[in-house]
Chains A and B, each alone.
Chain A
Amino acid sequence: MSGYFAAMSSAEVLAELAERDPNLVLLSQDFGTIGSFSARFPERHFDLGITEQNLVGVAAGMAHAGKLPFVLAMAPFVSMRGFEQIRDDCAYNRNNVKIIAPFAGLEAGPWGATHHAQEDIALIRTIPGITLLSPADPNESHRAVRAAATIDGPVYIRLGFLNPIDGYDVPFQVGEAVNMRQGTDVTIIATGGCVNTALMAHETLKGAGISAAVLNMHTLKPLDRAAVERAARATGRIVTVEEHSIVGGLGGAVAEVIAELGVGRLTRVGIRDVFCTEVEPYPELLRIHGLDAAGIDAAVRAAVGQS
């Protein structure tokens, strides 16, 4: 499911929350009608057009005046254009703004690198006091939206392309990674849609006699340092997987933890500090940049010395 549709289906969750909370408002960026929210709460849905910086500032003002604003805006634009407003107006001024950011990662495929959000994790996680969520499938995105509504402070929810993970339905605990698969040779720590891909790699690796644990790091800030430490101590080798630059994202965050621990060895799977300029549909772009199941499989084999 496209992150856009995940966002639209999350709007149904918002509509349900809005039913109970008269202060919940939805501010969007030129997305037109947002699910059933717009029809059910026309007076609480505001389209700010193509003004990402203004959009986030307006949301901060609404939060300041007691509203609970959810912002719906494209990840590449709201995270970069809106960065200073997220930092200053939302976090520094301690305003309760929730940003739902679809099109995270490479989902925009052949539209060109302007539309790829490959640095939003790196940017957002530098902001003190913000919560950064990156759910792994559509249902988890709904749970993340519900969790965001209960957090006192700004939240950024990163939504890439998300396929449903069969049978995955565990409570969403902010800051607690989810053990998706047990394993003894290596731990794959993935976030967003890459969790599902890592689960596929888990199966092919199993066929090759490699036991790979899979951890869903759905909260990137605050990072579950304890889960990283457990993985480093249990399997030694860690492979991070993210639809994001290897600079400063999940891989960077995990690197910081294990470097300070002095335990574990890390391989980062992600966009290798390049712009993804190939004119290719999204799945092919993932394959080229090593983010499909085969790419993860190969990276894990290399990490455990079986390539």
Chain B
Amino acid sequence: MSDPANIAALKARAATLRRHILAPASTYFAHLGGAMSCADIMAALHFHFLRFGDADHRPDHFLMSKGHAVTALHACLVELGHVDAAELPLSGQSGSRLAGHPTKRAPLVEFATGSLGHALSVGIGIAMAEQLDQSDARTVVLLGDGELQEGTVWEAALSAPRFGLEHLVAIVDYNRFQAGGSVDAVMPLEPLADKWRSFRWNVTEIDGHDMQAIVSVLDSLPAANGPTAIIAHTVKGKGVPGVEGTGRAHYTMLTDDEIKRSLAGLEGVE
């Protein structure tokens, strides 16, 4: 499936997701940076990897543990036809069904998150249930890097290999920034891959903006035994000139000019 045409289509889809993420950015203080950083991963997951259920397969599961990146999820819901694009600029506004974190008010949100460090455990439970039922449904949990400072992540990391769970995938959006500044300055995570390896996960490190790399690692799943952690090196606020790769990207509004320049940068992708 990772032929050049598919990769090109997924890149274009990621650009579309970024346009959707930018839709509320001039009116709504959002966690822009973490949504933009995971847009390529979200495109590959929702438009290549995840199965939505058919006669042969139960639906796969997707949990956005880094719930603050919800605009990336809402962008996928638009592309999947469950949310109208016109709703995006009204995110978080009075009466909207699109909140600042994934909630059950939005259609097709599998699990409401927000408080960090919850969804990997939930994902383990889902994967254990699927395993009990001898189903091959996959469970994908998208985590933030700052989120890994929560101790519960490591309780979960310790637990998953105990139960096998080769259909469980944890993806770390390693965009290097959290609310208080750079992750390295606040509470460094390195050596991160070694940590997951020592917890007996299958570990792959990729460039989280290299669509071919994302698709290749997803296509290689499941690993022979045990769960997989994908550490995706990304750029916070990817695609917003002047803001990407800075601490400001975490939680910000954009000027009209910044949005204009971001949209212009995305044009070439299609």
Known: A57-B118, A58-B125. A65 touches B155 (CB 8 A): no
Q: Is the CB of B115 within 8 A of A62?
A: no
| Majority-rule SS of B interface residues | helix
Q: Is the CB of B118 within 8 A of A65?
A: no
Q: Which residues of B contact A65 (CB under 8 A)?
A: 61, 125-126, 129-130
Q: Is the CB of B125 within 8 A of A62?
A: yes
With both beta carbons as reference points, the residue of chain A lying nearest to B113 in the complex is identified as: A88
B49 lies within 8 A of chain A by Cβ: no
B163 lies within 8 A of chain A by Cβ: yes
A53 and B104 alpha carbons, distance in the complex (Å): 22
Chain A 41-80 against B: per-residue CB contact (8 Å), 1 yes, 0 no?
0011010110101111111111111110100000000000
Q: Is the CB of A61 within 8 A of B129?
A: yes
The listed residue (B115, B125, B152, B155) touching A61 by CB distance below 8 A is B125
The listed residue (B115, B118, B125, B132) touching A64 by CB distance below 8 A is B125
Q: Is the CB of B159 within 8 A of A48?
A: yes
Q: Which residues of B contact A48 (CB under 8 A)?
A: 159
Which bucket holds chain B's interface residue count? 20 to 34
Q: Is the CB of B125 within 8 A of A59?
A: yes
Q: Which residues of B contact A69 (CB under 8 A)?
A: 125
Q: Which residues of A contact B126 (CB under 8 A)?
A: 61-62, 64-65
Interface size on A, residues (CB 8 A): 30
Chain B 142-156 against A: per-residue CB contact (8 Å), 1 yes, 0 no?
000000000110011
Q: Is the CB of A64 within 8 A of B122?
A: yes
Nearest-neighbour CB distance to chain A for B51, whole angstroms, equals 15
Q: Which residues of A contact B221 (CB under 8 A)?
A: none
Known: A43-B132, A66-B129. A54 touches B115 (CB 8 A): no
Nearest-neighbour CB distance to chain B for A115, whole angstroms, equals 20
Q: Is the CB of A54 within 8 A of B104?
A: no
Q: Is the CB of A54 within 8 A of B159?
A: yes
Known: A64-B111, A89-B122. A58 touches B128 (CB 8 A): yes
Known: A85-B118, A89-B122. A57 touches B156 (CB 8 A): yes
Nearest-neighbour CB distance to chain A for B209, whole angstroms, equals 30
B75 lies within 8 A of chain A by Cβ: no
B123 lies within 8 A of chain A by Cβ: yes
A51 and B152 alpha carbons, distance in the complex (Å): 8
Q: Is the CB of A54 within 8 A of B129?
A: no
With both beta carbons as reference points, the residue of chain A lying nearest to B163 in the complex is identified as: A46
Nearest-neighbour CB distance to chain B for A46, whole angstroms, equals 7
Nearest-neighbour CB distance to chain A for B129, whole angstroms, equals 3
Nearest-neighbour CB distance to chain A for B170, whole angstroms, equals 13
**CB-CB contacts below 8 Å: B153-176 with A:** 155-156, 158-159, 163
Chain B 88-118 against A: per-residue CB contact (8 Å), 1 yes, 0 no?
0000000000000000100000111111001
Q: Is the CB of B115 within 8 A of A58?
A: no
Q: Is the CB of B132 within 8 A of A61?
A: no
B121 lies within 8 A of chain A by Cβ: yes
A44 and B132 alpha carbons, distance in the complex (Å): 8
Q: Is the CB of B115 within 8 A of A51?
A: no
A126 lies within 8 A of chain B by Cβ: no
B124 lies within 8 A of chain A by Cβ: yes
Nearest-neighbour CB distance to chain A for B116, whole angstroms, equals 10
With both beta carbons as reference points, the residue of chain B lying nearest to A56 in the complex is identified as: B121
Q: Which residues of B contact A89 (CB under 8 A)?
A: 111, 118, 121-122
A56 and B155 alpha carbons, distance in the complex (Å): 12
A65 and B156 alpha carbons, distance in the complex (Å): 18
Q: Is the CB of B129 within 8 A of A88?
A: no
- Which of B118, B130, B151 is the most central at the interface, judged by chain A CB atoms within 10 Å of its CB? B118
Nearest-neighbour CB distance to chain B for A26, whole angstroms, equals 12
A280 lies within 8 A of chain B by Cβ: no
A143 and B61 alpha carbons, distance in the complex (Å): 35
Q: Is the CB of B122 within 8 A of A67?
A: no
Q: Which residues of A contact B118 (CB under 8 A)?
A: 57, 84-85, 88-89
Known: A58-B125, A59-B125, A60-B122. A53 touches B111 (CB 8 A): no
A33 lies within 8 A of chain B by Cβ: no
A53 and B121 alpha carbons, distance in the complex (Å): 8
Known: A62-B126, A64-B122. A54 touches B112 (CB 8 A): no
Q: Is the CB of B158 within 8 A of A51?
A: yes
Q: Is the CB of A61 within 8 A of B163?
A: no
- Which of A65, A85, A88 is the most central at the interface, judged by chain B CB atoms within 10 Å of its CB? A65
A164 and B186 alpha carbons, distance in the complex (Å): 55
A60 and B125 alpha carbons, distance in the complex (Å): 7
Q: Is the CB of A54 within 8 A of B128?
A: no
Q: Is the CB of B122 within 8 A of A57?
A: yes
The listed residue (A25, A43, A93) touching B111 by CB distance below 8 A is A93
With both beta carbons as reference points, the residue of chain B lying nearest to A64 in the complex is identified as: B126
Closest 3 CB pairs of A and B: A61-B125, A57-B121, A65-B129
21 interchain pairs, CB-CB under 8 A? A48-B159, A49-B158, A54-B156, A54-B159, A57-B120, A57-B124, A57-B156, A61-B121, A61-B122, A61-B123, A63-B125, A64-B110, A64-B126, A65-B126, A65-B130, A67-B129, A88-B112, A89-B118, A89-B122, A93-B104, A93-B111
Binding site for B on A (CB under 8 A): 25, 43-44, 46, 48-49, 51, 53-67, 69, 84-85, 88-89, 92-94
Identify 4 new A-B residue pairs, CB closer than 8 A, beyond the known A43-B132, A61-B121.
Answer: A55-B121, A56-B121, A58-B124, A88-B115
